Amino acid sequence: MELSEQQRAAVEHTGSALVVAGAGSGKTRALTAKIAHLIDKGYPPERILAITFTNKAADEMKRRLMALTGLEMARFPWVRTYHSACYQILRRHARLLGFAEPIQIYTVYHQQKLISEILIAFNIDKKYLHAIRAAISNAKNSGSPAAYFDTCKRIGPFRLEDIYDRYESALFEKNAVDFDNILMLTRNLLRDHADIRDKYRSYFSYILVDEYQDSNDLQEELTRLLLGNGNLFCVGDDWQAIYGFRGSNVNHFLNFNDNFENAKIFRMERNFRSADEIVSTANQLIRHNRHRMDKACFSNKTGGGIEIGEFFSDAEEAEWVVDQMIRLNRQGIGFDRMGILYRTKFCSLPFEQALRSAGIPYRMLGDRGFFERKEILDINCYLAAAVFEKDDASFERIINTPKRGIGPKMIENLNRCRIEGGGLQGGVRRAVAEKILKPKIHGALVTLLSLVDDIADMKPDQAIRTIVDRIDYYDHLHAYSKTEGDYTARRENIEQLIFAASKYENLLEYIEDAALIREDKADEASEEAAVGGASLSTIHASKGLEYHVVFVVGCEENLLPHWKSMESEEELQEERRLMYVAMTRAEKFLFLSSAAYRKGQYNPRSRFIEEISAA
> Catalytic residue at 475?
no
**Residue 228 near residue 47 (C-beta atoms within 8 A):** no
- In the set 301, 343, 585, 605, the catalytic residue is 585
Alpha-carbon gap, residue 64 to 62, rounded angstroms = 5
Residue ranges of alpha helices (H) inside 207-347 are 217-227, 251-254, 256-259, 276-286, 314-330
- CA 212-216-221 angle, to 5 degrees, is 95
- Pick 397 or 588: Cβ nearer DNA: 397
- In the set 54, 104, 240, 425, the catalytic residue is 240
- Pick 18 or 51: Cβ nearer DNA: 51
3 state SS of 250: coil
> Catalytic residue at 28?
yes
Please, what is the minimum distance in Å from the beta carbon of residue 414 to DNA?
9
Task: Count the neighbouring beta carbons within 10 Å of the beta carbon of residue 131.
Answer: 12
48 by Cβ neighbours in 10 Å (0-12 / 13-18 / 19+) ranks as buried
- In the set 6, 7, 27, 587, the catalytic residue is 27
The per-residue DSSP string of 408-467 comes to HHHHHHHHTT--TT--HHHHHHHHHHTT-S-HHHHHHHHHHHHHHHHHTTS-HHHHHHHH
Residues 6+ apart with CB under 8 A from 298: 269, 270, 271, 276, 279, 280
Residues at the site binding DNA, with contacts judged by CB under 7 A: 126, 134, 243, 245-246, 344-346, 366, 373-374, 400, 403-411, 438, 440, 519, 521, 538, 540-541, 562, 564-565
Q: Is the peptide bond before 408 cis (omega within 30 degrees of 0)?
A: no
Task: Count the neighbouring beta carbons within 10 Å of the beta carbon of residue 456.
Answer: 15
- In the set 28, 353, 462, 466, the catalytic residue is 28
- In the set 210, 277, 375, 396, the catalytic residue is 210
Please, what is the minimum distance in Å from the beta carbon of residue 520 to DNA?
8
- Name 307's bridge partners: 591
Please, what is the minimum distance in Å from the beta carbon of residue 408 to DNA?
5
> Catalytic residue at 198?
no
> Catalytic residue at 269?
no
Residues 6+ apart with CB under 8 A from 272: 24, 25, 26, 299
- Pick 220 or 520: Cβ nearer DNA: 520
Please, what is the minimum distance in Å from the beta carbon of residue 564 to DNA?
3
Please, what is the minimum distance in Å from the beta carbon of residue 110 to DNA?
13
- Pick 116 or 502: Cβ nearer DNA: 116
- Pick 245 or 487: Cβ nearer DNA: 245
- Pick 179 or 204: Cβ nearer DNA: 179
Q: Write the CA distances from 548 to 71, 275, 278, 543, integer angstroms.
A: 34, 10, 12, 15
- Pick 410 or 549: Cβ nearer DNA: 410
- Return the DSSP state at 106: E
Which residue numbers are catalytic? 27-28, 210-211, 240, 585
